[in-house]
Structure 1
Amino acid sequence: MRIEDLALLVALTEVDGIGDKRALELYREFETKTEFESSSRSDFDQFHYVDNDTHQQLQELGAVIDEYRERFERYQSEGTAVIGIDDERYPASLRHHHAPLVLYTKGNLSRLDDRLVSVSGSRETNEDGRGWIREVAGEMAAEDYTIVSGGAAGTDTAAHKGALEETGSTIVVLPTGVNNTYPEENTELFAEIVDAGGLLLSHRPPEEGPTRHAFLDRNKTISALSPGTVIVATDGSGGTMAQYKTAIKQGRQVFVPDSSLGIEPSGGVEEIRSDGSTAVVSTSFELMDRLQCLPPLEHGNQLTGESDDDGQMSLDDWG
């Protein structure tokens, strides 16, 4: 997907009443800035949400498109890849589950083509839990798996470090831009991951900080990228429990550690373990055996979810 095409697509979201889904619909119909500028009102008869005011805004998008093009070119010159939803490099699994129009990445993009497994867990995971997932991640990396996690303290950091110690095969899905490290304490770790051939990935432009919705978006991406998600530890509240529910909604297999491993906090894990669809594992080899039995992830080229009245995708419907 060319930068000028991506700039047009994102610029369309600046038009009143045009959210991501409608922007993609219009982009795929008209494709170039010239077609929008030279269009007549009747060209949009099939799009009920395009009235006279909207059509005028669509014809006057030139300056906004140029601004996005210059911005994306600058990001790329500074080492951040900008990947649009129609780019062949865009992960196919995300097109079915919470598909942002743009991904920003730093590092080795080929990691997205690896065999992936996702990891989530509490920031307060005890030493037994951190040690277990670090060992599991390292052993899986040695068997050509890439570990996907969110870069947070505790469980996420242990998983990333385990993979880094073996092959560097890990993907950090950030709630911030790739140049705005969160948490700050992991700045050096993230740099090491990129240097070792791993990948930083975000929905947000490179310098932007976190928002509440950014954490929700991150979690949806973590589980959507891989066929299975390991929930290491949770007390039953917070982001890890939300990650579990998201993975189930996306049709992903959820794994939890066996209770004999002594991993805490475990209140939420006990609840998850009681779910008949959850797989309990003790070792990386059990986990890999079960992953190999899962069907391949879906592929597609459409956004999912329904639009709100203003054309924006709601968080509930988006994933």
Structure 2
Amino acid sequence: MLKNWTINTFLFVCCLYSATGQNEGGAPEIFHGMSPKDNLQPDPNQVCGMSNPNGLVAPEKVPKDYSAPGQFPWVVALFSQGKFFGGGSLIAPEVVLTAASIVVGKTDTEIVVRAGEWNTGYRSEFLPSEDRPVARVVQHREFAYASGANNIALLFLATPFELKSHIRTICLPSQGKSFDQKRCLVAGWGKVAFDAENYSNIQKKIELPMITRAQCQDQLRNTRLGVSFDLHASLICAGGEKDTGDCIGDGGSALFCPMDADPLRYEQAGIVNWGIGCREETVPAVYTNVEMFRDWIYQHMAQNSNSVPFAGQLPSNMSDTRN
């Protein structure tokens, strides 16, 4: 009897793990400690990277270069003293991934994270946005402002967001994942052009081609950076198409790509880092390579929050915290 009970229990656990699944890259998803439903079908709000492709509200008209309300529910806006200053992505209910460059010089108590936002100029939206204060900021200790190397930071919130249809998390890529030759997206509230006077009120949607590091370095050497410019190993590139690209104010926002197996789900390839001008042909923008920092992210999440990868499967070198 005991033997049969043990076998049945083992089979149930295996089925449970299979039903909840893993993300495209084989890395465990973050289920935030939520138990699957009795029918083993996870709540879609608990599944990372799940988009709302047509949005959740149908406004009168959304231009093609803007997202629909609730379309990318992991996109967050960052505010300091009531003013918007950059973007980020929700990677756990109480953890935001952003760029170190935009939080340098800001104290924890200065920063407010807003999730579920679409129009920053109108607070009474059908899908209400929610604000959370930041309890702790963790910046990479080897961040170099001049080159953009290791430009990554985590914001740990004082209280977590409740995940729902317009507030969800983005998946992190597996270690070593390459996004070369894919078309990916940035969503945020930065300027629509370099000489624009104000940030965009409506969340922009920018589609960009990923390019190889070698191609990126060659193209950037044709700019004022000069022929001796070397692209740091922690950076990747996208863009270079005429009249499209991220701009001032998009710093910290996610560069995210559709999963091969499910194009309605996304994983974060990069963090908006720096660029030369905005929306210029053959001049790609530069992003922090998220897959390179996945272990660093998990290490600090384990130390500072209650969110861990599904089934507790942390990277094997969790004890090696490299800041």
- Normalising by structure 1, report the TM-score: 0.27
Larger radius of gyration: 1
Task: Give the TM-score of the pair, scaled to structure 2.
Answer: 0.26
Higher relative strand content: 2
Indicate the structure with greater helix content.
Answer: 1
